[in-house]
Chain A
């Protein structure tokens, strides 16, 4: 049950594959990386290019998850 995780913009990290079955599980897995923790707190998340509103979302094998840090300036 492999999910591909991509990190966009300034996170500057290669994509990884993780065996997880929900967004919550994925989040807990990523939070083990202290460098990622600060990004996860402020980033938006997409599954298969659909932005998600809640972390309870289930994940299926082959899903692509993107972590999108905010862009603030204007």
Chain B
């Protein structure tokens, strides 16, 4: 029994905690979604978490990319985020500087890939890689007051979504965190061997009248 995980033993027991210690994940992107996912999942007790990003921290990132401090301006995102995660984690946190294509060249096949990217083309590449290696992945996207999350097992991203290039939209940290939280919960439950709804698109949004809605679509 490791005291660090005592509340998780209460949740799902020692065997499940030991199961988690055999699992590896890769989080593609160390921006807003990557920061929230990385910080939340670093305490889960996984064997290893790969953090992949080619980009450096800029001042306009920091408001929503909650692992970064003002003095991190100009530093490698995956390295800074991995350091923050490692400080609170018993898992091995491995930063990889580069894009997703670079990651695929390293012959690393994790148990699950988490999408924390900001474009549709890379999500298609993640989908292709996941299918080739017969592993699932979790899609998560957010803008303004809406977001989408889906656990892809049998469904295929580009069969349903059109791959286009779109300009960035406004976003705040709480909305990123809300979407990341669903992605992280699906991840946690899946890796712990608990049931989740797979191949279902969750569309989360606030209506103009203030109502918070979650619509679900079969993929």
Which residues of A pack against B, CB within 8 Å?
A: 8-10, 41-44, 46, 49-53, 66, 68, 70-74
Say yes or no: A74-B162 contact (C-beta < 8 A), given A46-B217, A51-B218.
no
From A41, A46, A49, A70, B120 is in contact (CB under 8 Å) with: A70
**Nearest CB to that of B115 among chain A residues?**
A74
Chain A residue nearest in CB terms to B116: A74
Which one of B92-100, B105-113, B166-174, B189-197 contacts A? B166-174
The total number of A-B Cβ pairs within 8 Å is: 76
Cα–Cα distance between A73 and B33 once the two chains are bound (Å): 9
Query: Chain B at the A interface: mostly helix, strand, loop or mixed?
Result: mixed
- Complexed CA–CA distance, A2 and B159 (Å): 27
Q: Which residues of chain B are near A71, meaning CB under 8 Å?
A: 141-143, 146-148
Contact call B164/A74, Cβ cutoff below 8 A: no
With A8-B203, A9-B146 given, is the CB distance from A72 to B162 under 8 Å? Answer: no
Query: What would 12 A/B residue contacts be, using CB atoms closer than 8 Å?
Result: A43-B162, A52-B160, A53-B160, A70-B141, A70-B164, A71-B141, A71-B148, A72-B118, A73-B142, A73-B168, A73-B171, A74-B140
Once the chains bind, are B168 and A51 in contact (CB under 8 Å)? no
Cβ–Cβ < 8 Å partners of B201 in chain A: 51
Q: How far is the CA of A68 from the CA of B176 in the complex (A)?
A: 19
B143 x A72 contact (CB < 8 A): yes
Chain A residues with Cβ under 8 A from B151's Cβ? Answer: none
- Are the C-beta atoms of A74 and B142 separated by less than 8 Å? yes
Residue B29 at the chain A interface, CB threshold 8 Å: yes
Tell whether, in the assembled complex, residue B217 and residue A50 are in contact, meaning their CB atoms are under 8 Å apart.
Answer: yes
Residues in chain A near residue B32, CB distance under 8 A: 73-74
Task: Tell me if B144 counts as interface (CB < 8 A to partner A).
Answer: yes
Q: How far is the CA of A70 from the CA of B201 in the complex (A)?
A: 12
Contact of A42 among B147, B155, B166 (CB under 8 A): B166
A51–B199 CA distance with the chains assembled, in angstroms: 10
Report whether B166 and A74 are in contact in the complex, using a CB–CB cutoff of 8 Å.
Answer: no
